[in-house]
A and B are shown apart, each in its own frame.
Chain A
Amino acid sequence: MGDQILHQLIIPILLVVAVVLPLTLTVALYVYWERKVLGWMHVRMGPNQIGPLGLLQAFADVVKLICKEVILPTNANKFLYYTAPLLALIPALAAWAVIPFGARFALSNANAGLLYLLAMTSLGVYGIILAGWASNSRYALLGAMRSAAQVISYELAMGLCLVCVLVLAGSLNLTDIVNAQAGHKGILDWFMWPLLPVFVVYFVSGVAETNRAPFDVAEGESEIVAGFHVEYSGSTFALFFLAEYANMILVSFLASLLFMGGWLSPFPESVPVLGHTSFIWLLAKAFFFAFLFLWFRATFPRYRYDQIMRLGWKVFIPIAIVWVFVAGCMKYYGWVHIGTGG
């Protein structure tokens, strides 16, 4: 009896903690890394006062945010105002349930993992919309509207990109998708080569889905102050912040799992040591994509709203639809021989 409780309750909870706790820590360090990278790209120092090399800056910010007062705007909808940050955070964390970190470690090795991910990422927009509406502020509402339209448009392109991946992999299970990219040629076996246009479309849509620069019109601090979270302070703001960064890291992990072979090594199996599969490869790839987010932010000016819509509907979706056909032909006629493992 005690055994059953241990296996059905305590071990899963410990595993969840083992994923969420490092994730939260990573978010803190990622924020630090973002400020450092932005600083270097702007030829300044970035945070360097708190702790060695400024490493404790993010933690100091967390303490500051938690100690601040949460102010409820006049005539705001109290219930929705407080639930909105939670609605943003919960799907962002729940999506991590199906992410495999290695060939044998995933919280839930669900068969419909990719579908579940699509469902969870599409739920995150409610937090933003409701935050915008419940704060009883014009700027916040404008931000929410922009965000809703943007997320719906880019979700379509993203879904079509995922269709290409699952056509080639023949499975919705994320572990199977990674294993389908295993082969003797290392990096050449990954899905990023036959699906190169879709790979680019997917990652850029991911940037747009997470409302990051250059697609951050929902925040648009120069036009609509801070968009949907303009009325949020202290810990409620921190929750939005956490959700956004958890989503960014999620997109980075997904891009490396779906297109760059996850924990597979870029070197052929015959290479000693470097050719082994390892969790470290997955981390390195995810780190690369996470860095791209910051690089984009430091490099590109913000898109205008109508330009974002044009890019999503008139460029990305047609490319993705055409590539679904191409991927189908690749699979049916055996044009490409990638991933002998799948």
Chain B
Amino acid sequence: MIDPQMFQLVCFYAFAAVTVIAALSVITLRNSVHAVLALVLTFFSTACIWMLAEAEFLAIALIVVYVGAVMVLFLFVVMMLDIDQEKLREGFVKFLPVGLVVAVVMLVEMLGLIGVRVMHAQTMGVNPATAAGMSNTAWLGMALYTQYLLPFEVAALILTVGVIAAVALTLRQRTGVRHQQASEQVAVNARDRVRIVKMAAERPIVGEPGSQSAPAEEPKP
């Protein structure tokens, strides 16, 4: 009834259309929070397209890493900033030529790339994961940890250096800040903090001001 190939094609164009519209709204929406959400939608529909191409690991990694973590931080920052929309709009005409030049250069480059690809008539090879009879994730893991182990580890190392550098850049030592030391708190003995003193019970002295049990001075009849 429904041709699977046809359905796949329709799905591809639908996801692609959503991606393009969402990407356009990222730069056209006035509200910056809306723009961030449009970017989230762009990522999400890109992940759907990758899923169609049977790159399930990349698709889900995109959602976990970008949608689930990076964009949440983005949203976090954008919500905290009080962006003055009018001020941002001021430079629009001034920067328009520069923007146009960049856009045109990018367009020409992309067209050139597409042209090269068409002339080579490069067709996509056989999906190596299906050829090996494994799921996409398993195949990717195999390839990364055997064939491409060194580049993979180097990339991981560079990222780690980046993380440490970012922390080092923002870390500042301040004096006079008191931090909670959980280990010290746990190590504390009750004996060091509380001293129990033995003493005889005190009885209120009759007639002294302030003592509750002093008999009220009743006028004698």
Contact = CB atoms under 8 A, between A and B. Distances in A.
A306 interface: yes
Interface stretch (B60-68, B150-158, B200-208, B210-218): B60-68
B52 interface: no
B1 A5 contact: yes
Given A112-B56, A172-B137, A123 B63 contact: yes
Interface string B25-44: 00000010100010010000
Most chain B beta-carbon contacts within 10 A, residue among A116, A119, A310: A119
Contacts of A155: 68-69
Contacts of A119: 60, 63-64, 67-68
Contacts of A125: 68, 72
Contact of B73 (A5, A80, A152): A152
A129 B69 CA distance: 13
Contact of A129 (B76, B136, B137): B76
Nearest to A141: B79
Contacts of B135: 111-112, 172
A278 interface: no
B180 interface: yes
Which of B60, B67, B80, B182 has its CB near the most chain A CB atoms (within 10 A)? B60
B60 A4 contact: no
Contacts of B69: 122, 152, 155
Nearest to B135: A111
B23 interface: no
Interface in B51-87: 56-57, 60-61, 63-64, 67-69, 72-73, 75-76, 79-80
Interface in A220-263: none
A316 interface: no
A148 B64 contact: no
Chain B CB count within 10 A is highest, among A8, A144, A172, for: A172
A122 B1 CA distance: 37
A148 B72 contact: yes
B32 to A, nearest CB: 11
A145 B76 contact: yes
A145 B76 CA distance: 7
Interface in A173-218: none
A141 B56 CA distance: 35
A280 interface: no
Nearest to B134: A111
A118 interface: yes
Contacts of A71: none
Interface string A142-159: 001100110110010001
Nearest to A1: B1
A155 B61 CA distance: 14
A11 interface: no
A118 B60 contact: yes
A129 B57 contact: no
A4 B79 contact: no
Nearest to B71: A126
Contacts of B182: 310
A13 to B, nearest CB: 16
B68 A111 contact: no
A172 B56 CA distance: 12
A126 B72 contact: yes
A310 B182 CA distance: 10
Contacts of B56: 111-112, 115
A176 to B, nearest CB: 11
A148 B136 CA distance: 31
Contacts of A111: 56, 135-138
Interface string A107-142: 000011001101100110110011001000000010
Interface of A: 1, 4-5, 8, 77, 80, 111-112, 115-116, 118-119, 122-123, 125-126, 129-130, 133, 141, 144-145, 148-149, 151-152, 155, 159, 172, 306-307, 310
29 contacts: A111-B136, A112-B56, A112-B60, A112-B136, A112-B137, A115-B57, A115-B61, A115-B64, A116-B60, A118-B60, A119-B63, A122-B64, A122-B67, A123-B63, A123-B67, A123-B68, A126-B75, A129-B79, A133-B75, A133-B79, A144-B79, A145-B79, A148-B72, A148-B75, A152-B72, A152-B73, A155-B68, A159-B64, A307-B180
